Amino acid sequence: MASSHKSSPPPGRPQTGGEGQPKEHRARGESYGLVMLVRHVKRDGRALILYEREGPPAA
């Protein structure tokens, strides 16, 4: 089976998270399979994504 992923954009391009550390980053999570991701932008402009397992936290 051939595959090309160009025609289906990803669910959400990098969002502008603003500088600094969001205090309630959990609340703005984007669900993806087993994980919830929260996008940030570091002080120097680089992207940072934090992933947390949905449901009970991993031990």
Partner 1 sequence: MSEQRRNELRDEQVVYAIHRQERTFLPSREHCPLCPTRQGQAETEIPFPAFEIAVFENRFPAFEAPQGAAEVVVYTDDHDASLSTLPAPRVQALMWVWRQRFQELGARDDVDYVLIFENRGVEVGVTLHHPHGQIYGYPFLPPVPALELAADQRLGGCALCALLRAELEHDQRVVFQNDGVVAYVPYAARWPHEVHVVMRAHRPSLLECEAEELRLLAEALQGVVRGFDALWDRPFPYVMVVHQAPTTRAPVDGHLHVEFYPPLRTAGKLKYLAGSEQGAGTFISDVLPEESAARLREAILRAA
Among 15, 16, 26, 37, binds partner 1 (CB under 8 A): 37
- In the set 16, 24, 27, 59, which binds partner 1 (CB under 8 A)? 59
Largest Cα–Cα separation, the chain: 44
Supply the minimum distance, in Å, between the C-beta of residue 40 and partner 1: 8
Task: Tell me how crowded residue 41 is: count the other CB atoms within 10 A of its CB.
Answer: 16
* Total of chain residues touching partner 1, rule CB under 8 A: 29
Burial 12-24 (b: 16+ CB within 10 A, else e): eeeeebeeeeeee
Q: Which residues bind partner 1 (CB under 8 A)?
A: 1-6, 8-11, 21, 25, 32-35, 37, 42, 46-53, 57-59
